[in-house]
Chains A and B, each alone.
Chain A
Amino acid sequence: MLVIVGVAVAAFVLLHIVPGDPARAVLGLHATNASVAMLRRQWGLNASLPTQFWHFISSLVQGRLGSSYFYHQSVGSLIGQRIGQTAALVAMASVLAVVIAVPLAALAAARHDRFADHAVRAVGVVGLGMPSFWIGIVLIEVFAVHIRLLPVGGWGTSLWGHFESLLLPGLTAALAIVPILVRSLRVGMLEVLESDFVAAARAKGIGEVRVLFVHVARNALIPTISLLGLNIAFLVGSTVIVEQVFALNGLGSLLLDSITNRDYPVVQGITVVLAVAVVLINLGTDLISARLDPRIRLR
């Protein structure tokens, strides 16, 4: 709760201290000062900042996010139209991140200090250094423009179309966190590999693959899940860039447009919704960790 209120306050303050006038942006360069003043009054922008802030917070507490200056509809319904694409993108990116990171970490751990281990770690370091927008453009050039296997961008019109359209952006967003996941998962697996119960399992004659995926992976999973939870918060932030690169018109692109237009209610609304999402995701990861690890089970 404290986090959400903090984010709401920060969004309000930052937005209102930078110069820029939504009324001018709506009315165009030919607008007279009188019509600009009229529109500002209509939106309540002529009130003092503390009054406007009080209005914003009291509406927020009642669950009202206000109305957009530009889109002539409520912020809630605007977010409703867009949140699906962003949520689907985050989900796709999380799944792809796990699907890619777990086998790589297992490979690196199993081949500790040998070629495969070094290769995975080196690629990870290089990968961390590559910006998302660049990876996105390279993926589009290869998979959409040259071999035309997947759409260049957009959201598609059918369920399959949505899925197809999410693969490249999902991969782009996932690649930004895969190196972090691999590193922590690998270290976790290495620790577990050296533990007594693994030695015991091996002594019982259980095969190496089974040891790795059943005994080691499960124990290395707990820190990974908390880490994934933290990184989903990062993913939510990076969707702003990934949506831009892939023309996915989700919350991220709405946020950017609204900042450009100084559409205060929309920016504030999206910021609060994203803050709530991040808090919920963190709560979710805590609950799952508790489930997996008997030592931190909730009472």
Chain B
Amino acid sequence: MEREDRKRGLTRRKLLVNGARGSAALALSPLLIPDSAFGRTVARTASGKIKKGGTLTFARSVAPTQLDPANSIVQGDVYTLDKIFEPLYITSPAGDLLPWLATGYTTSANYKTWTFHLRPGVRFNDGTPLTADDVVWSINRAATDKEGPLSFLDSAIKKISASGTNAVVFTLAEAWAPFLSDISVFANAIMPKNFGGKTEKAFFASPVGTGPFMLPSWTADSDLTLKPNPHYWQPGKPYVDEVKITYVDSDNQRVLQLTGGQVDIIDTVPPANVASLKARSGIQVFEFGSWAVDLLIMNEQLPQFKDVHVRQAISYAIDRKALVDATSFGTAKPGGSFFPPSLQYYDPNTPYLAYDVSSAKQALAKSKYPKGFATKVLVDSGNETYVEFAQIIQAQLGKINIDVSINRLDHAAFESTFQKYDFDMFIDGATNDISDPDEMASFNLDYVDGGSKSFWSSYDNPALIKLIHEAEVEPSSAKRGQLYAEIQKIAAQDVPFVPLDYPPNIYATSDNVHGFAVNPGGAYRLEDVWVS
């Protein structure tokens, strides 16, 4: 997802425990996963006193520009269309995969054939029933869309076919362990086959999905009102009569609209405002654990960063705790492994090269640059946190005679510059879009097939790439855990990039909002939210 969305976690430890539990259930076993609903825990905590009706007003930092699941990647689009369209499985706030439009699945003994059983009684918001043909058509469309930003997640699928009206059979090219996670991505959400006979343009102007809300009409890049889907499959939901989503670009304005009582929920709360908002009566602040990690990436196309001792020296020289304390106002956690703690198979014991100036000096002494060198760090000038990171890193690397100058470019220029490998070092965030860590492992470390030459670092380690491929087809969850622990360890020792911190997804609401929760991917479901 885009790097603007930074929000995060109440109880990171709890998330981890739940995540581990979820992953155990997730192992590729040929059993039917029992039905469980996303909102169940929410409904229980509020048992008996849920108030129905009312309007929820939500000020968000990005407005939607389009609602095609297969073609969306920015948060304004994604977090609007996911209220209208739903996939077969979803990721819960705890990071677990939950059966959604499917009630469960079975797999063949070789894990290459997966049969999903559709939930009975699901209807689209125009009243027509959901069928296997709709699922086949929608996922085929997402998988074959060359411009689809996440179509690569479907690359394991060889064939999709309907088995009767209530089951869908996926034939995979190999026993693909992340498959259930891949299926849960918003890009694989289900639409009526052939857009229900409408043209694509007409369909997305008034979209038809199975989700809790519908959008009778809307205009790109402006405010919109979600109305309840009268045919929604979860009885009694959504609780609110309507959700008004307004587009408020300015961080300051969003915070003021919340404190001024004009809106009920705001997204992307700046870390600097968290303490003052928490101190205010009538406001609650949520920090949800995210699948995001901020990285300092080094360009191995340059001789100084090709030298592993230089990269290790830089890892030793950066005081992540000082960095986080100075910039995140107590919201982010200092970095270690390149997997964020809320990601499946995160290893908290990853032996990373933590801050130690004397080790940094020793490592540099072993390199071809014992006296240090001059270099540059590229940052997005619009991201205040990253600019501060750059300043602190400049000071910290100065202590081992690495003389850093800062190159600030605006967002678009920044992106096209690092994508042309025209940098010494740059700072950016990496995010997983699904609960399975394969996406992040391949994208960040698979020089050959990952798509970004190891997050533009050009780090190429064939032994590590082999481990990543092994983990992709390993059926046992325990063995995958070991493989990912090894992958995290090698990355921590070889340092293609320094994981700086794990930023949370921060939201704030007024006290009268109940049942609001965000998953580590940054998605939130609003059918469980009610207003008192």
A contact residues vs B (CB 8 Å cutoff):
18-22, 24-25, 27-32, 34-35, 38-39, 70-73, 78, 81, 137, 140-141, 144-145, 148, 151-155, 244-247, 249, 253-254, 256-257, 260-262
Instruction: Sort A-B residue pairs by CB-CB distance and give the 8 closest, nearest first.
Output: A20-B412, A28-B149, A28-B73, A152-B260, A71-B220, A247-B248, A19-B413, A145-B260
A70 and B65 within 8 A (CB): yes
Of A25, A32, A247, which one neighbours B257 at CB under 8 angstroms? Answer: A247
A19 and B73 within 8 A (CB): no
Question: Which of B152, B249, B443 counts the most A-chain CB atoms under 10 A from its CB?
Answer: B249
B220 to A, closest residue via Cβ: A71
Of A27, A244, A246, A249, which one neighbours B147 at CB under 8 angstroms? Answer: A27
Complex: how many Å from CA A262 to CA B382?
15
Q: Mark B253-270, 1 if CB is under 8 A from A, else 0.
A: 110110111100000000
Residues of A near B375 (CB, < 8 A) are none
B253 and A257 within 8 A (CB): no
Complex: how many Å from CA A155 to CA B416?
35
Complex: how many Å from CA A32 to CA B246?
33
A81 and B256 within 8 A (CB): no
B253 and A246 within 8 A (CB): yes
Complex: how many Å from CA A21 to CA B152?
21
Q: List 8 A-B contacts (CB under 8 A).
A: A18-B412, A25-B412, A28-B73, A29-B452, A31-B149, A72-B220, A140-B256, A246-B253
Smallest distance from the beta carbon of B267 to chain A beta carbons, Å? 14
A18 to B, closest residue via Cβ: B413
With A30-B150, A153-B262 as known contacts, state yes or no: A244 contacts B412, CB within 8 Å: no
Complex: how many Å from CA A72 to CA B220?
8
Q: Say yes or no for B415: interface residue by CB 8 A criterion.
A: yes
Residues of B near A71 (CB, < 8 A) are 65-66, 220-221
Residues of B near A35 (CB, < 8 A) are 146-147
Q: For window 166-223 of chain B, which residues contact chain A by CB distance below 8 Å?
A: 219-223
Smallest distance from the beta carbon of B129 to chain A beta carbons, Å? 30
Q: Say yes or no for B369: interface residue by CB 8 A criterion.
A: no
Residues of B near A256 (CB, < 8 A) are 249
Smallest distance from the beta carbon of A203 to chain B beta carbons, Å? 56
Residues of B near A39 (CB, < 8 A) are 147
Q: Say yes or no for B44: interface residue by CB 8 A criterion.
A: no
Residues of A near B443 (CB, < 8 A) are 30
Apart from A145-B256, A249-B249, 5 more pairs, CB < 8 Å = A18-B410, A21-B416, A24-B416, A27-B149, A71-B66
Question: Which of A28, A31, A153, A256 counts the most B-chain CB atoms under 10 A from its CB?
Answer: A153
B221 and A262 within 8 A (CB): no
With A21-B416, A70-B65, A73-B220 as known contacts, state yes or no: A260 contacts B411, CB within 8 Å: yes
Q: Say yes or no for B250: interface residue by CB 8 A criterion.
A: yes
Residues of B near A262 (CB, < 8 A) are 412
Q: For window 347-379 of chain B, which residues contact chain A by CB distance below 8 Å?
A: none
Residues of B near A260 (CB, < 8 A) are 382, 410-412
B451 and A30 within 8 A (CB): yes
B256 and A24 within 8 A (CB): no
B252 and A245 within 8 A (CB): yes
Complex: how many Å from CA A39 to CA B146?
10
Smallest distance from the beta carbon of A268 to chain B beta carbons, Å? 15
Complex: how many Å from CA A153 to CA B257?
7
Of A25, A141, A245, which one neighbours B250 at CB under 8 angstroms? Answer: A245
B152 to A, closest residue via Cβ: A30
Complex: how many Å from CA A153 to CA B256?
9
